Amino acid sequence: MSTIATKDGTQIYYKDWGAGQPIVFSHGWPLSADAWESQMLFLADRGYRCIAHDRRGHGRSSQPWNGNDMDTYADDLAELLEHLDLNNATLIGHSTGGGEVARYIGRHGAARVAKAALISAVPPLMLKTERNPDGLPIEVFDGIRTGSLANRAQLYQDIASGPFFGFNRPGAKISQGAIDSFWFQGMQAGHKNTFDCIKAFSETDFTEDLKKIDVPTLIVHGDDDQVVPITAAAIAAAKLVKNATLKIYPGAPHGLPDTHKDLLNADLLSFLKD
């Protein structure tokens, strides 16, 4: 397997497909690089080098007790880009991965970055506060934590079979394969790591990071996202990023890289070529 060792000794697994201008993918919670395989296959087949890593504690990466926070996730991403000496790269993040991309640019700048894409992403802030009234109340995330401690295997089944892919909507075409893949990826991850990550993706404020993004940025979100509601996320983020293009997919759920992969792949390819 292809891995790097970070400064604290964590082993980070990554996939590296194709050749050409690099695209680096950051995945959502509690998944792994496998969540991006449809986009990676499509874009690598069209002349791009597609790289996706398993976040620390997730997938095939090691499961450190500490460092399960956005600053460390961004630093791990920086070490990956430096190890592979990537330049003129496009960073693409889904959900929690969108936060990772934003925090990377906020902490490390965009010297290696040509473009960015935030897909169903958590920035600027998921948690409801006085300054962020459109966010979700803390009780939502406490509920996820309770479910994780009680039976995380069932929690992942419930998320995948319901709100993540929109399979709980009337008339939805349910894919057991998609549910099983989500569950399998989640169960590969460390229990402590995914538990800590709930706080990281829900309570981290990326407002200042978004303001620092000065490269062309594509923001894609479904208007039926039941996991990361669009108003507090993409709508707000598009107002903070200087060079943002916002695309809203009508009726699309949180897991649109799977449910709307043909549309997303075409939009990403167009964005990359512009």
- Condensed to tens digits (0 to 9), the pLDDT of residues 187-224 reads 999 999 999 999 999 999 999 999 999 999 999 999 99
Give me 47's structure tokens: 């002349």
CA distance 243 to 80: 25
Does pLDDT of 1 surpass 90? Answer: no
Give me 86's structure tokens: 């990537």
Q: For residue 62, what are the CA distances in angstroms to 18, 148, 180, 187?
A: 25, 20, 22, 14
* Candidate list 26, 95, 161, 202, residue with the active-site label: 95
**All structural domains of the chain with their residue ranges:** 3-273
* Candidate list 76, 225, 258, 267, residue with the active-site label: 225
Give me 229's structure tokens: 């509601």
Mean pLDDT of 24-32: 98
- Condensed to tens digits (0 to 9), the pLDDT of residues 83-126 reads 999 999 999 999 999 999 999 999 999 999 999 999 999 999 99
Q: Give the chain as a DSSP string.
A: --EEE-TTS-EEEEEEES-SEEEEEE--TT--GGGGHHHHHHHHTTTEEEEEEPPTTSTTS---SS--SHHHHHHHHHHHHHHTT--SEEEEEETHHHHHHHHHHHHH-STTEEEEEEES---S--B--SS-TTSB-HHHHHHHHHHHHHHHHHHHHHHIIIIITTTTSTT----HHHHHHHHHHHHHS-HHHHHHHHHHHHH---HHHHHH--S-EEEEEETT-SSS-TIIIIIHHHHHSTTEEEEEETT--TTHHHHTHHHHHHHHHHHHH-
Q: Does 95 participate in catalysis according to the annotation?
A: yes
User: Thinking of the domain 3-273, which architecture would CATH place it in?
Assistant: 3-Layer(aba) Sandwich (3.40)
- Condensed to tens digits (0 to 9), the pLDDT of residues 142-189 reads 999 999 999 999 999 999 999 999 999 999 999 999 999 999 999 999
The average confidence (pLDDT) of the chain is 98
Q: Report cis status (omega within 30 of 0) of the bond before 257.
A: no
* Candidate list 209, 254, 258, 267, residue with the active-site label: 254
Calculate Rg over the CA atoms of the chain.
Answer: 17
